[in-house]
Amino acid sequence: MKINESDLLSCGDINAKKAALEIAKAAIESADPYKAVKRSLKFDGDKLVVEGKKFHLKGDVYVLAFGKASCAMAKAVEDVLGERIKEGVAITKYGYASPFGDGYTSPFGDGYAAPLKKIEVIEAGHPIPDENSLKGALKGVELAKKVDEGDLLIVLISGGGSALFTLPEDGISLEDKIKTNELLLKSGARIYEINTVRKHISKVKGGKLAKSIRGTLVSLILSDVVGDPLEAIASGPTVKDPTTFRDAQRILKLYNVWEKLPESVRSHIREGLKGEREETLKEELPRVHNFIIGSVSIACEAAKRKAEELGFNAYILTTTLEGEAREVALAFGSILEEIYHKNRPFKRPCVLIAGGETTVTIEGEAGKGGPNQEFALSIARKIKGLRGVAFLAMDTDGTDGPTDAAGGLVDSYTLELFEREGVDVEAYLKAHNAYEALKKGKALLITGPTGTNVNSIVIGVVF
């Protein structure tokens, strides 16, 4: 992870910003997908041991990975099982296969930067799926069909898997699926709600992948969803699903998306409401086993430990942070203000940590940015003049929204710098153009792909 520290630490509350960066690095390192798989997976003779549960390896072993962390997870499985793997496919975001190419320095240390040997890598579109997402899903389904009764399929799931592993239901084109996805992403709907819709227009989500497996299926999952509900992570391809076509339609109407949808999607959901289309999986399958091996909770705990090592009083406020980014920022900023002026509810020096996923509701044209950038830009208004205060918001995968930025890092001087640069923060927030504003204020956080994805983390530092 190569952070643009020279820009970020060139002015302002340098010590506070430096502490925020060190704490963020510790959080990201704790979410290392390679190490998470290696901790969870052991090979003992003819047995595979997953989180203490033993699986006898009688037949062939196949690997299917999808998500932003799929290559690191797949590499760990290769290192554990080696030649026992017969075949595999990993689908990841463009640029996220490079950690395993020549000349790459791993963000988590040496030892797994070599290319995958047994598992084919396909790079595809995220957050908007593309033709390669479809190609990867088709290859994945083809692989799953090869798994016989005595075989084992290891499925590696991480954030971004829903877009990267895309196979629309019959009658729905990829273009219609993409249009639906775009509408949902701009609607302000939460990820759980978005995935409810995705599951009901997909051939593989909502447990439908698990239905097609004849052998044993073991899923290792990195959670990027608030609260870690298995059925929502990557739209739950290997677990039973409590949501229905009725829920999907309700969400689409609630966020004023229903009438804007392609007719093929509306038609499919209407048929589903009448029982004419396959519902998602509703029962537990005894041959299917799911394990969460990483989450934002683990990342927040690592951040807390690092903050305490640095001499701060550290507190995790929540790991289920949700809401409109700019509004949640004002609430979080108010707590930082209270600590700064009143030394309550926590005593200085302190660090406040939260994990989760905020959203941005877009109406009409929008500029460039993402929820973490908008969070950082909004909170800059609350911490103006609070010397020794800094705030960092980032997506743990290194990509916040459709940008090359992970998020933003602001301090008590940032708003003053904006004013000198002629940046009207309110106007930039209204235009959802946080990227350009933060860039002008030397507050744009750039990390590049981190190799993991366990939702977003925010860190407030008060000296």
**Which CATH superfamily, name and number, covers 5-29+296-462?**
MOFRL domain (3.40.1480.10)
Query: Starting at the edge strand that comes first in sequence, how are the strands of the sheet with 389-395 ordered?
Result: 313-321, 350-356, 456-462, 389-395, 407-411, 444-445
The residue length of the chain stands at 463
**Strand, helix or coil for residue 444:** strand
The conformational region for residue 193 under phi > 0 = left, psi -120 to 50 = alpha, else beta, is alpha
Q: What is the pLDDT at residue 422?
A: 92
Query: At CA 172, angle to CA 283 and CA 190, rounded to 5?
Result: 60
- Around 297, how many Cα atoms within 13 Å sit in the side-chain half-sphere? 10
User: How far is residue 26's CA from residue 28's CA, in Å, rounded to a whole number?
Assistant: 6
Nearest Cα to Cα of residue 155 among 84, 65, 81, 288 = 65
Q: What is the pLDDT at residue 157?
A: 96
Q: What is the pLDDT at residue 217?
A: 97
Residue type at position 123:
E
**pLDDT tens figures, 127-165:** 888 999 999 999 999 999 999 999 999 999 998 898 899
**pLDDT tens figures, 297-327:** 999 999 999 999 999 999 999 999 999 999 9
The CATH T-level fold of domain 32-167+202-243+280-294 is Rossmann fold (3.40.50)
Helix (H) or strand (E) holding 300: helix 296-309
Q: What is the pLDDT at residue 107?
A: 43
Could you tell me the two tokens for 220? 């290792």
Q: What is the pLDDT at residue 98?
A: 55
Angle formed by the axes of helices 325-342 and 371-379, to 10°? 40
Domain boundaries, the chain: 5-29+296-462, 32-167+202-243+280-294
User: How far is residue 110's CA from residue 106's CA, in Å, rounded to a whole number?
Assistant: 6
**Strand, helix or coil for residue 262:** coil
Buried residues in 104-128 as b, exposed as e (16+ CB within 10 A): eebbbeeebbeebebbebbbbbbbe
pTM for the full predicted model? 0.78
Q: What is the pLDDT at residue 95?
A: 81
The DSSP symbol for 234 reads G
Q: What is the pLDDT along the chain (463 residues), one digit of tens a residue?
A: 689 999 999 999 999 999 999 999 999 998 889 999 999 999 887 899 999 899 998 899 999 999 988 999 999 999 999 999 999 999 998 888 754 433 334 444 444 445 788 999 999 998 888 999 999 999 999 999 999 999 999 999 998 898 899 999 999 999 999 999 899 988 989 888 998 999 999 999 999 999 989 999 999 999 988 888 899 888 999 999 999 999 999 999 999 999 999 999 999 999 999 999 999 999 999 999 999 999 999 999 999 999 999 999 999 999 999 999 999 999 999 999 999 999 999 999 999 999 999 999 988 788 999 999 999 999 999 999 999 999 999 999 899 998 999 999 999 999 999 999 999 999 999 999 999 999 999 999 999 888 788 999 999 999 9
For the CA atoms of 147, 151, 156, 161, the dihedral, rounded to the nearest 10 degrees, stands at 20
Query: At CA 215, angle to CA 275 and CA 131, rounded to 5?
Result: 60
Nearest Cα to Cα of residue 215 among 120, 289, 137, 156 = 289
Residue type at position 404:
D
Q: What is the pLDDT at residue 108?
A: 40
Q: What is the pLDDT at residue 104?
A: 37
